[in-house]
Structure 1
Amino acid sequence: MNGESLATGQRSLGDPSITYPLWPPLTSGCPRTSTPELAYPLEVTYDYARVDKSLFDQQAGPDLARWAPLLPPLDAPTLGEGGTPLLEFDGVFVKDESRNPTWSHKDRLNRVAVSAAVHVGAPGVVVASSGNHGASAAAYAARAGLGAIVLTSDEAPPAVQSFVRSYGAQVLTLPVEDRWPALRQIVERLGYHPVSNTTVTHTGHPFGAEGYKTIAYELFTQLGTAPAAVFCPTGYAELLFGVWKGFTELHALGITASTPRVFSCETAAAGPHARALATGVPATVVELGPTDAYGIDCAAGGYRGLRAVRDSGGEALLLTDEELRAAQTALSRQGLWVELSSAAGLAGYRKLARAFDGPVVCVTTSSGFKDIGVGEPIPEGQSLSQILSGPIAAKPSGASPS
Structure 2
Amino acid sequence: MNGPSLAIRQRSLGDLTAEFPLFPPLTRGCPKSSTDEIAYPLEVGYDYARVDPGLFDQTPGTDIARWSPLLPPLAAPTLGEGGTPLVEFEGIHFKDESRNPTWSHKDRLNRVTVSAALAAGAPGVVVASSGNHGASAAAYAARAGLRAIVLTSADSPPAVQAFARAYGARVVSVPAEARWPLLREVVDRLGYHPVSNQTVTHTGHPFGPEGYKTIAYELFLQLGQAPAAVFTPTGYAELLYGVWKGFVELKLLGLTGTTPRMFACEPAADGPHARALATGAPAAIVETFPSAAYGIAGPVGGHRGVLAVRDSGGEAVLVTDEEMRLAQRDLAGQGLWQELSGAAGVAGYRKLRREFGGPVVCVGTSSGFKDLGVGAQTYPVLEHPTLDDLRA
Give the TM-score range, shorter chain: over 0.9
Instruction: Quote the residue 1:30 is aligned against.
Output: 30
The answer to whether residue 381 in structure 2 is matched with residue 385 in structure 1 is no
Q: Distance in 2 between matches of 1:115 and 1:320?
A: 37
Structure 2 matches for 1:1-400, cutoff 5 A?
1-380=1-380, 384-385=387-388, 387-388=390-391
Residue aligned with 2:114, SS: helix
When structure 1 is superposed on structure 2, of 258-267 and 371-380 the one drifting more is: 371-380
Q: Is the 8 A contact 2:2 2:55 kept in 1?
A: no
Q: Distance in 1 between matches of 2:379 and 2:275?
A: 39
Q: Distance in 1 between matches of 2:348 and 2:80?
A: 29
* Superposed displacement of residue 2, structure 1: 2.1
* Superposed displacement of residue 381, structure 1: 8.9
Q: Distance in 2 between matches of 1:19 and 1:191?
A: 25
* Superposed displacement of residue 131, structure 1: 0.2
Q: Distance in 1 between matches of 2:118 and 2:286?
A: 35
* Superposed displacement of residue 261, structure 1: 0.3
One-letter code aligned to 1:4: P
TM-score (norm 2): 0.98
* Superposed displacement of residue 36, structure 1: 1.5
One-letter code aligned to 1:46: Y
* Superposed displacement of residue 286, structure 1: 1.0
Instruction: Quote the residue 1:396 is aligned against.
Output: none
One-letter code aligned to 2:345: G
Q: Distance in 1 between matches of 2:239 and 2:22?
A: 21
Instruction: Quote the residue 1:399 is aligned against.
Output: none
Q: Is the 8 A contact 2:11 2:45 kept in 1?
A: yes
Q: How many residues align?
A: 389
* Superposed displacement of residue 376, structure 1: 1.2
Q: Distance in 1 between matches of 2:185 and 2:321?
A: 36
One-letter code aligned to 2:388: S
Residue aligned with 1:211, SS: helix
Instruction: Quote the residue 1:400 is aligned against.
Output: none
One-letter code aligned to 1:309: V
Q: Distance in 1 between matches of 2:381 and 2:261?
A: 43
Structure 2 gaps of 5+ residues are none
Q: Distance in 2 between matches of 1:103 and 1:293?
A: 16
* Superposed displacement of residue 377, structure 1: 2.0
TM-score (norm 1): 0.95
Q: Distance in 2 between matches of 1:258 and 1:72?
A: 25
Residue aligned with 2:61, SS: coil
One-letter code aligned to 1:175: P
One-letter code aligned to 1:268: A
When structure 1 is superposed on structure 2, of 1-10 and 74-83 the one drifting more is: 1-10
Q: Is the 8 A contact 2:233 2:365 kept in 1?
A: yes
The CA RMSD measured in Å over matched residues stands at: 1.1
**Superimposed CA distance per residue, residues 140-181 of structure 1 (whole angstroms, 9 cap, x where no aligned partner):** 000000010000001200000000100100111111110000
One-letter code aligned to 1:84: T
* Superposed displacement of residue 280, structure 1: 1.0
Q: Distance in 2 between matches of 1:265 and 1:312?
A: 15
* Superposed displacement of residue 379, structure 1: 4.8
Q: Distance in 2 between matches of 1:212 and 1:156?
A: 25
Residue aligned with 1:80, SS: coil
Q: Is the 8 A contact 2:27 2:204 kept in 1?
A: yes
Residue aligned with 1:163, SS: helix
**Superimposed CA distance per residue, residues 323-362 of structure 1 (whole angstroms, 9 cap, x where no aligned partner):** 0000000100000111000000100000011111110000
One-letter code aligned to 1:106: K
